[in-house]
Amino acid sequence: MIELTPSLAGQLHFLYHKTLVKVELVDSTPNHLPVLSASSAIYSLSSSFSLTKVSSFLAVVLLSSYQASLAMCVNVQFDPLKFLTDIWTGLSRQMGYLRDPKPRITQLTEAMRHLGCKAEDIKNRILSAERQGEAPLHVVQDWLKKVAAINEKVSKIQTDHENGTFRWCINHRAEQSLAEVSALVRNSEFRIVATRLLPNGVQEVPAEPPPANRTMVSYLSKLLDFLQDDGSRIIGIWGMGGVGKTTLLQSLNAELHSSSEAGKTAQMFDHVIWAVASKDYKLEKLQHDISNWLHLTLHEDRTQQAMEIRDFLKNKSFLLLLDDLWQRVELADLGIPQLTKKQKVVFTTRHDGVCGQMQARPKMKVECLNEEEAWRLFQDKVGEETLQAHAIIPQLARVVAKECDGLPLALVVIGSAMSTKKTPREWRNAITLLKKSRPHEIQGIDDEILPKLKFSYDNLADNIIQECFLLCSLWPEDHSISKTDLIECWMGHGLVKEQKFDNINEAYDNGYDLIGGLQAACLLEPGNNKDREVKMHDVVRDLALWIASDCGKRLNRFIVISGVTAFEDSQGDAERMSLVGSGVSDTSSLPSNCLKLETLMVQRSISFTSIMKGFFQGTPALAYLDLSYTAINELPQEIGLLGNLRYLNISHTSIPSLPVQLSNLRELRFLLLRDLESIFIPNGLLEKLVMLSVIDMTDTWCGNWKELLRLPGRLKGLGIVLESIEDLRQLAQLPNVLTWRLGLRKMVGFNEPLQLLSPLQLGSRSIRFSIQMLKIEFCESLEVVSMVCDGGGDKCSLSRLEEVELRSLPELKEIVWRGVRPAEMLPSLTVLTISGCHNLPNLSWVIRLPSLEDLTVYRCSEMEQIVDVDNEIGLGGEEENGVGAAGWEFPSLRRLCLRDLRSLRVFGGSFAFPSLEVMHVMDCPEMKALPFGKEMAVRKLKEIWGDSQWWEKLDMKDDDRAALQPCLKMQLLGGGGFTVTSTIQ
């Protein structure tokens, strides 16, 4: 036996230095004898070949054969024969590495190709599984990572071989890699490569807990009902910014998530997908968000990504929640398959128009909170500690909360900002700023409210509708704005250009379309009279004034005064000034010089009596002046200085005449003189108003109306009152005047029926195509109104006529129809008022007017029924499939008012009334039956107004009475002659 002595170890250590093989002496034995340890750094031989390297190679052979034994102990005992055999075996293997490595490289390449095919097959199986909602197993993912690693390793060997690296090294590495590849091939037989994801189709969306109020719970319940309805596919949630649409969508997701975890609705949807569209969304971004939610592969090509999503979803039930939609999204382009009853989309938007573009059925508008719910939310954000900091703070906090007008965004942001305000002065300051429409100046609010809401303004179609929106803020807070007043304001400011249209009605149509656009964008909402008025939400109005002031940089650009207020000299920089409904008595309190002032609105300021001398000298830029519904009784002569004035409205004032200086207003386009009792127009004045487009003297008597004959241009709209048939004939022959509103009053000497469709009366082109309102009143001898037409076509149609009033015609007995049906002649008639027509037996002809929404009949003492079912009048002697033809009776009627009809026994039958919402019956003691039954309770009927005695005497079935009882609103005459109302449940 040979003992490994320290001397021998030293010799081997010397060999280490000669062979460049790293050998370490490790002092690990009890007697601290040196022990050899050969490291894995034996590949240092890969450098250039030399004789020294051969000796190194032989040393490597020796060291590799006994590396283990040398490391274990100092005294090594071995058999010489085994020693020589081991040396020969090791030497043979190492010498084999010196052969040409090409065969090994070829073998390795082929093995790697086979492994690559296996890997591709497994990847395809995974891709197919992912489309079915499955995820790859972790062991499979680990195997694929190893394949990727060995592939990189083999590529490096091939590169080194091509670069002439030492054969021994290449062969050695190739042999090792081949073993690894073979092992991976052996382990590639996976029976399954993926497993189905948990139907966490519903995943939680990070969100603040929703406010616990009945309104939100009600909306959520309604949404869940929609989802259960097989007929619902696309559901739209719309409402103004900050109203809680996103919160509602998050609540829906949370409800489905919690229900799924509890097993309640686990089968409703396989997947609930959340995605945010945002204002400037990109289709690819939305596709990737959906794909990430579903764990799908991402592709750069949108078409390929759409196919990926579609293939995955087409056979599954799913709910796509799309938040903050600003425009139509093509679901097919997104990858959403054709929806079935278990595949639904719910989206939120600020614009009702998006609901239409997305064909949402149904849709649901989210409204602001009521006062009590708003107060509870505000209290929660302010905190009990602050509310109890001072005895008066709760009272002041109520005022602040009310200024938020139920908008959750404002309640949350302002409430949070006020949570640190613990003195009454801080709260009073907040109230002052809110009442001045400057919420952004409250400390702690920053950009949390108005900039967020401004997105709705920015998204409006163009500058025209944006400016229209800003002008709405000139009316006071909480004020219901007449749609007519608003459109005329826009016309006067040149935003609705009458010169672009053939007649004024078309311009009004454009104005109504703009109103609709602002309502759809939730920037306007219905007013007190939802058909005729609109109003601005308080916070939206703050937004408009903030934008108008250049986002707070020019506070005096728009000045809106309500009440009696002292003006500051700095407000002389104002461009638009509104005193609507204020207590200002004259212009003496206004800044003396308003050189930039373009708009002055004083309407409905009943204390306003005069314009002080010299005022107009300081307003040279004034283009819009509205003095309607004030106590002013004279226009100063200085009005002639307003060379830029385009719009002048003195309706409903006591002004008896126009000053001759008005003739200097060469830019004047609109002159509104309604309901003045009478007005005198100086001779020659109108002919100098070369730009005049509209002059409206509705309900105003003008004795020298024939001044119109001298107009130099074409009137797009004329409102006028005439008192003789001859005047009507002369008007009908004016080629350059389009009659818009016509009153026929106090006409006498009717020897023949009033022929409304005669070419010499309303049948002329200048009236027939443009008349919008017709009043016939105080004609005591008029017995017959004739609607006779022999020509047919548009000659028999007053297509623009929307309002008709027949008033105080005591001898009127008949309205004759021949050659034309009411629905053909009056296709647009919306409002019909009949009063003081004591000899008129019925109104059977109104039954099928397609657009009639408001019917009022009062003080017709001999009228026994509204519709004569046995003898339907006014159909030219032809039957129209009977009075009760289903779907044709009062198709659009929403409001029916019957008052002071002492002889009225019945309405005249039972009708469908598919649109009726409100019915008033007052002082009709003989009326014993309603024209409908209990079926109305499930239609649109909301209110029936009448006194208790009349209701109790009605002849109706018990189940009809019970069904309609919730709609009943009682009208009782109070002691002072006023009306007291109550709801009977």
CATH of the domain at 528: 1.10.10
CA distances, 387 to each of 382, 392, 404, 434, 506 (Å): 7, 9, 17, 19, 55
852 and 820 co-located in one domain: no
- The reply to whether 432 falls in a domain is yes
8 A C-beta contact, residue 722 and residue 730 = no
What is the rounded CA–CA span in Å between residue 283 and residue 889? 48
Q: What confidence score (pLDDT) does residue 334 get? A: 94
In this structure, is residue 285 part of a structural domain? yes
Q: Is residue 497 part of a domain?
A: yes
- Token match 């032989």: residue? 58
Domain that holds residue 228: 214-365
Radius of gyration in angstroms for the set of CA atoms belonging to the chain, rounded to a whole number: 45
704 occurs within a structural domain: no
Beta bridge partners of 741: 719, 773
Q: How far is C-alpha 926 from the chain's CA centre?
A: 49
Q: Are residues 230 and 161 part of one domain?
A: no
Q: Is residue 223 domain-shared with residue 332, that is, in the same domain?
A: yes
Tell me which of 387, 418, 441 is where a domain ends.
Answer: 441
**Nearest C-alpha neighbor of 486 from the set 465, 462, 463:** 465
Residues 6+ apart with CB under 8 A from 912: 886, 887, 889, 890, 932
Residue pair 668/692 in contact (Cβ under 8 Å)? The answer is yes
List residues bridging with 24 in a β-sheet: 37
Put residue 974 in one of left, alpha, beta given phi > 0 → left and psi -120 to 50 → alpha: beta
897-910 CB burial, b ≥16 within 10 A, e <16:
bbbebebbebbbbb
What pLDDT is stored for residue 153 in this prediction? Answer: 86
Vertex 744 angle, CA 743 and 749, to 5° = 175
CB atoms within 10 A of CB 985: 6
- Say what the pTM is: 0.76
Q: Which pLDDT belongs to residue 27? A: 39
Cβ-based neighbour number of residue 38 at 10 Å:
23
Cα(859)–Cα(674) distance, integer angstroms? 26
Tell me, yes or no, whether 951 lies in a domain: yes
336-340: Cβ within 8 A, 24+ apart: 336/309, 336/310, 337/310, 337/313, 339/233, 339/234
Instruction: Specify which residues 322 forms β-bridges with.
Output: 275, 347
Q: How many CB atoms lie within 10 A of CB 261?
A: 12
| CATH code of the domain containing 264 | 3.40.50.300
Which residues make Cβ contacts (< 8 Å) with residue 898, sequence separation at least 6?
Answer: 857, 858, 866, 904, 920, 921, 922, 924, 927
User: Is residue 324 located within the same domain as residue 393?
Assistant: no
Are residues 856 and 955 located together in one domain of the fold? yes
Question: Looking at the domain assignment, is residue 107 inside a domain?
Answer: no
Measured CA to CA, the distance from residue 618 to residue 587 in angstroms comes to 11
Nearest CA to 772 out of 831, 725, 732 is that of: 831
- With respect to residue 936, please indicate whether it lies within any of the assigned structural domains: yes
- Which residue has 């005669």 as its token pair? 758
* Domain membership flag for residue 619: no
Shared-domain flag, residues 273 and 412: no
Residues 671 and 648: beta-carbon distance below 8 Å? yes
Give residue 975's pLDDT.
38
Backbone angles phi, psi at 545, to 5 degrees: -70, -35
Pick from 35, 92, 91, 45: which is nearest to 68 by CA? Answer: 35
Q: Let me know: does 503 contact 769? Beta carbons within 8 Å.
A: yes
Segments of the chain scoring below 50 in pLDDT: 1-6, 8-62, 64-76, 198-199, 262, 265-266, 873-887, 973-985
Query: Could you tell me if 816 and 904 lie in one domain?
Result: no
Residues 81, 146 within the same domain:
no
Answer left, alpha or beta for residue 554, where phi above 0 means left and psi between -120 and 50 means alpha: beta
Please state, in angstroms and as integers, the Cα–Cα distance from residue 304 to each residue in 8, 298, 324, following that order.
Answer: 72, 9, 25
CB neighbour list of residue 417: distance below 8 Å, 6 or more residues apart: 442, 443, 444, 445
* Lookup: tokens for 60: 């490597």
378 and 348, same domain (yes or no): no
Final residue of a structural domain among 387, 410, 441: 441
Residues 318 and 201 sit within 8 Å (Cβ to Cβ):
yes
Number of independent structural domains in the chain: 7
One domain for residues 257 and 323: yes
- The helices-and-strands tally (H runs, E runs) of the chain is 27, 35
Claim to verify: residue 411 and residue 355 sit in the same structural domain: no
3-state secondary structure of 857: strand
Residues 51, 174 within the same domain: no
